[in-house]
A = this chain, B = another copy of it.
């Protein structure tokens, strides 16, 4: 059963994150808007300017009201106004935090996606998304470097009676040397998301490609599967029980990956990390099966306390991170306590970000060089 302390931490973080606007004095809007990089091919809207304002445009000639869920928390987002030709437009009241934001439209009281954007699985549905370019956006950009592959695998799962899906990142060159073996990071999404999140929203593959090209990390495999966090069949969030997912991960997926990919199949070459609810899962599974993993990482997903780690014989590193708009003091305190008890712990706080994907992209960038050393 769920440890409510961790759920509380996450819910506070989600609430904090829902105020997507940076709390600064609002400057005059600079008219250098460009299409968001998360738009569908050829779509001009939504747009983003150099200050981080977002502008929306929706065609719905006979609609009575159109609004966007993004904007100041509690104010119902950004209300669009109708202009010539039945075109609704509007701009956020202030600059938004850098990074990726989920959103949707409310049209005459119904919830729909913005037809201008690609779709991203969050809040247990495919949502619209927008990207406010970050100052450090280069680290997750598509560049002219050798690229690893992201492959969809369907693995047999007796415990759930179906074939389950995972996405597996293999580093550049994986296909070329049939003798080389790699360590593996098991990387979990958050509540409301699924196994597509770390590639689509997180650009985990591009982050890895770029760091490998720069010689900053030792290449490793990343495995991303659905943590069953949204699924009422498996208890939903309130009655979440880790057992069904732990069985899938430990008894089904890890053996499948070790059989079908060229892994270094020992605990010293296996890490687990997760964001938000995926951090809660990481926390529970690493404590339950310390024989399997040597690196534990919680990204906006709670903390470890020294006394709960009973078996540290395999443990090499604990990594704990969050955004500066979440609970950095809680993270720092946990790290102090763990260090005092002799654990090797690293913390990271992403500046000016909340419970959102830029926090987690940066966390992966910070974590990756410390793994499998």
Whether B63 pairs with A108 at a CB distance below 8 angstroms is yes
A153 to B143, CA, bound (A): 14
A8 interfacial contact with B, CB 8 Å? no
Query: A199 — which chain B residues lie within 8 A by C-beta?
Result: 152
**A40-B125, A119-B119 in contact; A60/B142 too (CB < 8 A)?**
no
Whether B112 pairs with A112 at a CB distance below 8 angstroms is yes
A61 interfacial contact with B, CB 8 Å? yes
**Which one, B108, B126, B144, contacts A108 given CB within 8 A?**
B108
Whether A108 pairs with B163 at a CB distance below 8 angstroms is no
**A147-B154, A178-B178 in contact; A110/B110 too (CB < 8 A)?**
no
A58 interfacial contact with B, CB 8 Å? yes
Whether A152 pairs with B154 at a CB distance below 8 angstroms is no
Interface residues of A in 106-124 (CB under 8 A from B): 107-113, 115, 118-119, 124
**A108-B62, A110-B59 in contact; A125/B115 too (CB < 8 A)?**
yes
Closest chain B residue to A155, Cβ basis: B147
A230 to B126, CA, bound (A): 24
A80 to nearest B CB, angstroms?
12
Whether A42 pairs with B150 at a CB distance below 8 angstroms is no
- Residue among A125, A149, A162 with the highest chain B CB neighbour number at 10 A: A149
Closest chain B residue to A161, Cβ basis: B144
Whether A152 pairs with B149 at a CB distance below 8 angstroms is yes
A261 to B175, CA, bound (A): 6
**A118-B126, A151-B149 in contact; A41/B260 too (CB < 8 A)?**
no
**Which one, B42, B64, B147, contacts A124 given CB within 8 A?**
B42
A140 to nearest B CB, angstroms?
14
Chain A: residues with Cβ within 8 Å of the partner, total of 56
Whether A41 pairs with B149 at a CB distance below 8 angstroms is no
Whether B153 pairs with A152 at a CB distance below 8 angstroms is no
Query: A126 — which chain B residues lie within 8 A by C-beta?
Result: 40, 118-119
Binary contact track A208-235/B, C-beta < 8 Å → 1, others 0: 0100000000000000000000111000
A65 interfacial contact with B, CB 8 Å? yes
A64 to B62, CA, bound (A): 7
A168 to B170, CA, bound (A): 14
Query: A111 — which chain B residues lie within 8 A by C-beta?
Result: 59, 115
Whether A142 pairs with B124 at a CB distance below 8 angstroms is no
**A107-B63, A108-B107, A112-B112 in contact; A153/B147 too (CB < 8 A)?**
yes
Interface residues of A in 264-320 (CB under 8 A from B): none
A128 to nearest B CB, angstroms?
10
Q: Show 28 A/B contacts (Cβ-Cβ < 8 Å), sorted by A.
A: A41-B124, A41-B230, A58-B110, A59-B111, A60-B107, A61-B110, A63-B63, A63-B107, A63-B108, A63-B110, A64-B64, A107-B107, A110-B115, A111-B115, A112-B113, A112-B115, A118-B126, A119-B119, A142-B154, A142-B162, A144-B156, A147-B163, A149-B152, A149-B153, A150-B151, A151-B170, A152-B199, A175-B260
Q: Which 8 A-B pairs have the closest CB atoms?
A: A60-B110, A151-B151, A178-B178, A62-B108, A61-B109, A147-B154, A63-B108, A175-B260
Q: Give 5 new A-B contacts, CB below 8 A, not counting A144-B163, A147-B155, A149-B152.
A: A42-B230, A42-B232, A60-B109, A105-B112, A147-B163
